[in-house]
Structure 1
Amino acid sequence: MRKIFGKWIDQYFSDEEAILLALLLALGLAVILMLGQPLGPVFAGIILAFLMQGPVDWLESRGVPHLLAVSLVFVAFIGLFLGMLLFVMPKAWTQLVNLFNELPRMVSQVQALLLLLPQKYPDVFSESQVRELIQLATAELSRAGQWVLTFSLNSIGNLMALLVYLVLVPILVFLFLKDGRVLARWWASFLPERREMMTRVWHEMDVQIANYIRGKALEIVIVGSVTFVAFALLGINYAALLGIMVGLSVLIPYIGAALVTLPVALIAFFQWGWGGEFMWLMIAYGIIQALDGNVLVPLLFSEAVNLHPVSIIVAVLVFGSLWGFWGLFFAIPLATLVKAIANAWPRHEQAALPDKA
């Protein structure tokens, strides 16, 4: 066993750069797990600056000075952020509270429909089974509604942390945009001069991950905005809340759209029933999903992320459970990073043993 393990070590970890990269990855993971909460504003600033580096590079390629390009992109970011904070989020929160206040009426309608099942299908459903299901669902919805109504009061203790984010993150974003190249050169000065493997990994990340992250952020904004406008024109209740949900659903490949379809259909059904308005809304929702998958995604993602669907689903489950929202957002980029490291990792083939005469 020791001989087999030794050969495996010699094959994959005999290169000094590979060992250094493994140590850096382990150190980075340890910093995120141990200091993720106190360094949260720094990580958020790095992520947002990375998202906005594309527009800065585009302006600089057209002759705009670096500081002016950074200032223009930063002002646009602040304007978008304030618009979300002052107009979109309060409206969505109000609609969420109203939705939970309206849940008792919706539950009553569902109860009436469920109680008809034992009459129509007595061999399949019994009245006791249906009533137990109704009691369980009512208890869960009551707890969820109580959580939503009391969340704002319970969050007063976190107000200072929220203010820290609101003040520090914009400052850090501006500094990272302005001095990001200087900081990158300073960090690279600590690395060995011979770093072919790290360079290969970085180039693959820069081509695929940067394209994915910036494209995904833009896709969320476009899909969410178009959904809100379409739903508001069709007159459905909670249009802002549903627009945010549909926009965020693009974070989860394959299953995000399927999951968000249920609340869209339920809210439309409880508002209109099986009428023409319900059909028109579902047709509009289907068109938005089709345009997103067949038009918007090919336009935004110029470089395909070549990952097997099983790898994508596993990455979403693993990183989403570890880091929540940010884990879902970065699941595919992190899986791409793992693939890039695996492809660039040096392998020293074992020499074949000479045949005995």
Structure 2
Amino acid sequence: MSDSGEGQEDFDDLGTSPSRITSPEMRREVQKAVAWTAVIGATVFLVFISRSLLVIFGAMVFAAMIDGGARLLQRVIPLKRIWLVSIVLIVTAGFGYWLATYAGTQISREAAQLPEIVEQQVGVAIAWLEKQGFTVDQADVQSMAGSLVSGVGTVTRAIGGIMGGLTTILLISIIGIYIAVDPMLYERGVAWMLPRHRRSEFYETVAKMGYTMRRLMAGRLVGMVFEGVFTWIMLAAYGVPMAVLLGILTGLLAFIPNIGALIAGALMVLVGFSGGTDMGLYTIFVYFLVQTFDGYVVIPLIAKKTVDLAPALVLAAQLIMGILFGILGLFLADPLLAMIKVALEQRAKRTDEKLKNQTPETADGT
């Protein structure tokens, strides 16, 4: 026993363990360093998986579109959700099949002629600028056009990263269908990981996000159909070449606010001026008529009352997301911004409610 006591005394004489920090100041600095390391590590991890997270968000957007269609059908057809979702998917697949087969021949023929017409009209515009006294180098313009085409190809390849664009679309579709069939299953799964006192707030925020997303996508789809069909009818009535192709491009690009309308308008005007000045001026009139009616009548009636986003903020988000994630980020910038806005509004609402529920004594800290 004495030997054991002497050994313990000898061990105590050695002092504290070298891994133990006795200084409070040093301990606080180490804790700060660990916290910053964790933050940096989490940020790097999120950047690493950001493209996968964007694919998941794209699937949620696709699920919201299916869910919106199923809810509309449920008002007139009292069927189970699985059948309503199936009807929406069958109608969507049927439209895609018609677009690829029945209209595919004419569209592909017109699409082959479009680059040549655009190039010719760019040359006409350069000649007009030179007559006005501007010096335009044809080689520089061709170089810029080549860089643009190369950039578009690069962005297109970047849609799916390593997996490729088709795989990304397939993943978004499959995950979106699973979510649309039983969205409550995934909501309960996420809520289960949260503290009990946070679950009611989570369900409220998710319900608001789902409603907002459905309204946003409904407005987007109605706007796409309206712009595409109305553009096609107006251009075909005047005899503008490639009216079908321009209508389809206008409708598809309407999914991207701001930027999509500018691209569609530029293509429409270039093709219009290939048939003369009068036709070119008519295409300008059609473009402004369609965009004005869609922006001030169609969208406000459906989505703008629910999702009121500042145009400059949307454009900035599109530029950032487009640079970071390519076309996929450009398509999802607006929905992502809307969801962030809803989350911040819900948080501010709960904070205001807590402040209102506080008594004067509690607010004064007495």
Note if contact 2:54-2:329 (Cα within 8 Å) is conserved in structure 1.
no
Partner of 2:68: 54
Q: Select which of 333, 337, 340 maps to 1:338.
A: 340
Q: Select which of 171, 181, 184 maps to 2:187.
A: 184
**Correspondence list, 1:123-138, <5 A:** 125=134, 130=135, 132-138=136-142
Note if contact 1:208-1:303 (Cα within 8 Å) is conserved in structure 2.
no
How far is 1:301 from its partner?
Answer: 1.9
**Which structure has the larger Rg?**
2
Note if contact 2:220-2:255 (Cα within 8 Å) is conserved in structure 1.
yes
Partner of 2:26: none
- Please identify, of 109-118 and 138-147, the stretch whose mean Cα deviation from structure 2 is larger: 138-147
How far is 1:71 from its partner?
Answer: 1.8
Query: What is the rounded CA distance, in whole Å, between the counterparts of 1:64 and 1:92 in structure 2?
Result: 37
Note if contact 2:62-2:173 (Cα within 8 Å) is conserved in structure 1.
no
How far is 1:288 from its partner?
Answer: 1.9
- Please identify, of 33-42 and 292-301, the stretch whose mean Cα deviation from structure 2 is larger: 33-42
**Correspondence list, 1:18-167, <5 A:** 33-35=47-49, 44-61=58-75, 62-86=77-101, 92=107, 94-103=109-118, 105-118=120-133, 125=134, 130=135, 132-141=136-145, 161=164, 164=167
| Equivalent AA in structure 2 for residue 225 of structure 1 | V
| Equivalent AA in structure 1 for residue 323 of structure 2 | S
Query: What is the rounded CA distance, in whole Å, between the counterparts of 1:247 and 1:281 in structure 2?
Result: 16
Q: Deviations over 1:226-266 (max 9, x none)?
A: 22333233322233443244234444545654454333222
How far is 1:98 from its partner?
Answer: 2.1
| Equivalent AA in structure 1 for residue 286 of structure 2 | A
Note if contact 1:211-1:303 (Cα within 8 Å) is conserved in structure 2.
no
Note if contact 1:215-1:301 (Cα within 8 Å) is conserved in structure 2.
yes
Gaps spanning 5+ residues in structure 1: where?
Answer: 1-22, 119-124
Partner of 1:233: 237
- Please identify, of 133-142 and 250-259, the stretch whose mean Cα deviation from structure 2 is larger: 250-259
How far is 1:76 from its partner?
Answer: 1.0
Note if contact 1:230-1:284 (Cα within 8 Å) is conserved in structure 2.
yes
| Equivalent AA in structure 1 for residue 234 of structure 2 | A
Matched position secondary structure for 2:266: helix
Q: Select which of 192, 213, 216 maps to 1:212.
A: 216
- Structure 2 vs 1, CA of residues 164 and 205 (structure 1 numbering), >3 Å: closer, same or farther? closer
How far is 1:42 from its partner?
Answer: 5.5
Number of aligned residue pairs: 311
| Equivalent AA in structure 2 for residue 80 of structure 1 | F
Structure 1 length-normalised TM: 0.68
Partner of 1:321: 323
Gaps spanning 5+ residues in structure 2: where?
Answer: 1-37, 356-361
Query: What is the rounded CA distance, in whole Å, between the counterparts of 2:50 and 2:150 in structure 1?
Result: 30
Q: Deviations over 1:202-231 (max 9, x none)?
A: 233233232112321332233123223332
How far is 1:338 from its partner?
Answer: 2.6
Matched, 1:274 2:277: yes
Query: What is the rounded CA distance, in whole Å, between the counterparts of 2:43 and 2:194 in structure 1?
Result: 15
Query: What is the rounded CA distance, in whole Å, between the counterparts of 2:43 and 2:195 in structure 1?
Result: 18
Note if contact 1:211-1:301 (Cα within 8 Å) is conserved in structure 2.
yes
